[in-house]
Amino acid sequence: MSTDPDAVRQRLQQDLAQIELALVESVSATATVMLDQSSVGRLSRMDALQQQALAQEMRGRLQLSKRKLEAAMVRLDAGRYGLCCDCGEPMEADRLDRDPAAIFCLECMSTRI
């Protein structure tokens, strides 16, 4: 990935837009489960609850990704984008390419697991 701030910003905004769309869809997915449960009754209550839990888990993950991307934008504005938040060293380019919102370099990440 290019380290040009404008290109990075565009990539972050694209990812954010996708997550916001997925968040909207996950809300309607949860609503559908509830509707099926009351009006159709074909799903058992357990199935409906399980699907709802999955949808909630998915939404939690999306919200976390959204916060990470927003934090990456803040770092970009502050001119600290791409630097590890722990050791301060520049992160590997392929790491940022896979996860533009990465916070720690691979070395620091591995000491946190």
Q: Which residues bind Zn ion (CB under 5 A)?
A: 84, 86-87, 105, 108
> Is the Cβ of residue 12 or residue 102 nearer to Zn ion in the bound state?
102
**CB 96 to Zn ion: min, Å:** 13
**CB 84 to Zn ion: min, Å:** 3
> Is the Cβ of residue 55 or residue 96 nearer to Zn ion in the bound state?
96
**CB 82 to Zn ion: min, Å:** 11
Q: Supply the angle between the helices 5-35 and 45-77 in degrees, to the nearest 10.
A: 160
> Is the Cβ of residue 54 or residue 104 nearer to Zn ion in the bound state?
104
> Is the Cβ of residue 21 or residue 87 nearer to Zn ion in the bound state?
87
**CB 111 to Zn ion: min, Å:** 9
62 near 19, Cβ under 8 Å?
A: yes
Contacts of 11 (CB under 8 A, 6+ apart): 1, 100
Return the structure tokens found at 85: 């938040």
Q: Rounded distance, CA 46 to CA 65, Å?
A: 29
Q: Rounded distance, CA 96 to CA 82, Å?
A: 7
